[in-house]
A and B are shown apart, each in its own frame.
Chain A
């Protein structure tokens, strides 16, 4: 099946879950990544049970700090 993952169209095996995809894509800090499937967020507790299908669009959204440090 074809998925669009982080903007790139790629071929994957059928039956993949979001958790599988996180592993395959070597997602950095997987415990803290936000995943959206077809523009809707998927709860972390649903990563294992959400099976992806052909044509799905998946985005990984990462925590990013940066800027100035001593605000607090």
Chain B
């Protein structure tokens, strides 16, 4: 029984390692490539530690413009989808029971409809309205930002609604009724009771909506018009020629995500701690005396501080560090290797020529061995030339040759 347990534990750990390796490995590899000097993002062979890709990224106007568009669209989407999602959830609680299932199916459907279809339908619909009303192609209905906000909100509002429904399930409707009995108007009851209760849900729905909008590709790719978002720009870059500045961007996003996740974790810990002590959150989060105590029960805070320290020291290091010398070294090394390779190729060619001149008379001479000679000259030729011009060889010399120029 006990050995069985150990075996189980072993399998569990192995599985967890494989699973999280699959989950996090790609992100780690991508982050590492941001610091390697070759022009194509790669982890091996490691050449020089460099920060130049961050400079390249910061000087990329299209990326900067994309981030700006993403923010505008993100904010519009958050406002629209939080309002619609909240209204949708409130209506769901009081809709006529017979209509309820149909209504729920309709408002949940945008999550299941492929994003491509949503983008196309938004584009087609507003384009036809535009033509029907006789507007020019410069009108609002053809504006990329307008279309993208509408297209994204269609399904992001469903996400928001799910968040609100989960929160509303714990809502005590007696509270609203009590307020109404005490003479509050409906709007007052909504503002003073329903909204404050929904506040945390509104916050998380807004964050969710913004992130979903920021990273959306499928819908946006049909609707963006003249306002490409960051995701669209990234996709263009990744499809047509990639360089490690994208890895640098990915690294920044990963670090920001990590910080966000840790901040959230710290916040939750503090709340739990407050709950356990029966004290309000403010009391626990207070002055500097309690700071060490927070750290003790809070690994997330410790990691956060370490991360910040690491970040600062990296920035300091990047200011003083220059990979120029290392690059020169790598270049000379590559040159040496290339020289060697050229030598080898020359040698091979020479040998081949010699072989050919030796075989020459043999082919013309011996007619008895015709079937054999028919195949013989072909196969060595294939072997030796093929080795030189094999795609792998060409590729290995190709980019390096460019580099040395």
- A and B are interacting partners: no
